[in-house]
Amino acid sequence: MIKNGVAIDDSFAEAFPMKATRIVVTAHTIEWARHAAVSATGFATSVIACGCEAGIEAELDASQTPDGRPGCAVLIFAMSGKELTKQIERRVGQCVLTCPTTAVYAGIAEGEAVALGKNLRFFGDGWQMSKVIAGVRYWRVPVMDGEFVAQETTAVTKAVGGGNLLLLARDTDAALAAASAAVCAMKRVPNVIMPFPGGVVRSGSKVGSKYAALSASTNDAYCPSLVGLAPRSELTRDVRSVLEIVIDGLTDQDVATAMRAGLDACVEIGAAGGLLRISAGNYGGKLGPFHFHLRKLMEAAS
C-alpha cells in the first residue's frame, strides 16, 4: 500500500495485556500541577526496567477536576496489579505529596480499588484526618504549606500496552518531523499515552540477546548502520533513520484510534517530507493477543 508516496508495510503491531490506573493531580496553578505530574511520570518509559510505563494524558482546567483547581490526568501502566499498586504509592508519595499545593484523586471509578492516599496518610504522624463525601473517603495530611488532600483509593483496570509504529525516513530531520507530528496527533486521543521521551524511542528492541544476562537488545534489523551487516536487515540504503512510537491505552480500541491518528499525520507529511516507509514491530503473534494491522488501520482511517 502506497499513501502519498509512503509505503505502508503489510505488518502489524503486537500488543499485550497490562493493568492501568488514572490519577488526577491538582494544584494552585497548572504550573505546579505539571511539575508534580512530570516528576511522577519520570523514569517510566518501559516495564523492562522501570516497573511501569506512565505519562501525562491531558492537562485539565478547573471545571474538569474534583476540587475546582487546574490539574493533570496521569496514566500509569504495569504488568500486574501488584506492581502497579507499588508504583502508584511510590510515585505519589515522592513526587506529588512533596510538590507545593498539590492534591491527588482517582481518575477511574470502576475496577479493583488499590491504595492511593490510604497509606500515605501515615506521613501525617497522627495528625491526619479523613472526610467522607458521597461515600468516598479522602485523607487530609498536614504539611508545611497547608494540607495534602488525597483520595483513599484509586481503581485498577485492564489495559493494553505495546501498540507501535516504526517510521523509516531518509534522514534524522525527516524522522523527527514525522514522529513529532504523529505524537502530536495521538495526544489528542483520550485514554492513551506514549511513554518514551517526547513520545518517541530510538532504541527499539528485540527479544533476547547474544548475552545471556539481557532479556532484550537492539533491534538490529532496523539499524541503518547495520545494513549489509545484520543478517536480517529490514532496511534499504536510502533509509538513514528509524524512530518508533509506542502506545499504551486503556482499551485496544483506544490504541487503534491513536495509531490511526498517527498514521494519518505521517501520511500527510509523505515522501516529499522524507518519510519513506511505515512498519510495525511484532513477534510473530507470540507476545500478545492484540494485533493492530497497519493496512486495516489505514483503510479505517480513510
245-294, pLDDT tens digit by residue? 999 999 999 999 999 999 999 999 999 999 999 999 998 887 899 999 99
CATH code for residues 19-157: 3.30.70.520
pLDDT at 147 over 70: yes
Residue 301 binned pLDDT confidence (cut-offs 50, 70, 90): low
Q: What is the pLDDT of residue 10?
A: 96
Q: What is the model's pLDDT at position 284?
A: 83
Amino acid 20: pLDDT: 98
Residue with cell 510515585: 91
Cell reading at 72: 493533570
CATH fold of 2-15+160-301:
Alpha-Beta Plaits (3.30.70)
Helix (H) or strand (E) holding 182: helix 172-186
Give yes or no for residue 158 having a pLDDT over 80: yes
Nine cell digits for residue 51:
516497573
Predicted structure pTM score:
0.96
Average pLDDT estimate for 180-209: 96
How far apart CA 165 and CA 155 sit, in angstroms, is 29
pLDDT tier at 178, thresholds 50, 70, 90 = very high
Write out the three cell numbers for 284: 510473530
Confidence grade of residue 302 (pLDDT, cut at 50, 70, 90): low
**CATH code 3.30.70.520 region(s) in the chain:** 2-15+160-301, 19-157
* Residues 17-74 pLDDT 10s: 999 999 999 999 999 999 999 999 999 999 999 999 999 999 999 999 999 999 999 9
For the ranges 5-9, 41-45, 140-144, 286-290, the lowest mean pLDDT is seen at: 286-290
The pLDDT score that the predictor gives to residue 287 is 81
* Residue 175 CA from chain centroid, whole number: 20
Q: Cα–Cα distance between 175 and 132 in angstroms, integer? A: 51
CA dist 269 and 59 (Å) reads 27
Average pLDDT rounded to a whole number, residues 205-228: 93
- DSSP string of 227-252, one letter each residue: TTTSTT----TT--EEEEEEEEESSH
